[in-house]
Amino acid sequence: MKFPLRQLLFFVGAIGMAILYALAFAHLPGPEGLRSMYRDVINLQTVEQRHITDAITAVNFDYRGFDTLGEEFILFVSVMGALVLLREEKDQGGEKVPDAAWPARSVPPGDALRVWTLWMTGPVVLFGIYIVVHGQLTPGGGFQGGVILATAPLLIYIAENLEVFKRITSHEWIEIAEAIGAGGYALIGLIAFFYSKPFLTNVIPLGPGGTNINVLSGGMVPLIDLTVGLEVAAGFVVLLYAFLQEMLVKQGDQ
Amino acid sequence: MIFYVACAVAAWLFLVGVYGIATSDNLVHLVLCLVVVQASTYVLLSAVGYRHGGVAPVFADVTQTQTTVDSVVQALMLTDIVVEATVVALLLAITVQIKKRTGIVDPNNVNLLRG
What does the domain layout of chain A look like in residue ranges? 5-253
Measured between beta carbons, the chain B residues lying within 8 angstroms of A39 are 49, 57, 68, 70-72
List chain B residues with CB under 8 Å of A40. none
Cross-chain residue pair B97–A86, CB shorter than 8 Å = yes
Q: What does the pLDDT look like over A170-228, one tens digit per residue?
A: 778 888 998 899 899 999 999 999 999 889 888 888 888 877 888 888 889 999 999 99
How many angstroms separate the CA atoms of A86 and A97, rounded? 17
Domain spans of chain B, in order of start: 2-52+67-102
B2-52+67-102 CATH = 1.10.287.3510
Answer whether residue A88 shows pLDDT above 80: no
Give residue-wise pLDDT tens across range B71-82: 899 999 999 999
If residue A74 lies in a helix (H) or strand (E), which one and from where to where?
Answer: helix A65-85
The interaxial angle of helices B71-102 and A142-159, nearest 10 deg, is 40
Confidence of residue A92 (pLDDT cuts 50, 70, 90): low
Average model confidence (pLDDT) for chain A?
84
pLDDT at A253 over 60: no
Mean pLDDT of B64-70: 86
Crossing angle of helices A220-245/A65-85, nearest 10°? 10
What pLDDT, on the 0 to 100 scale, is given for residue B114? 63
What single DSSP character describes residue A192?
Answer: G
Say which residues have a Cβ less than 8 Å from residue A15's Cβ, sequence separation at least 6. none
Give contacts of A14 with chain B, Cβ < 8 Å.
15, 18-19
Per-residue confidence (pLDDT) for residue B115, from 0 to 100:
54
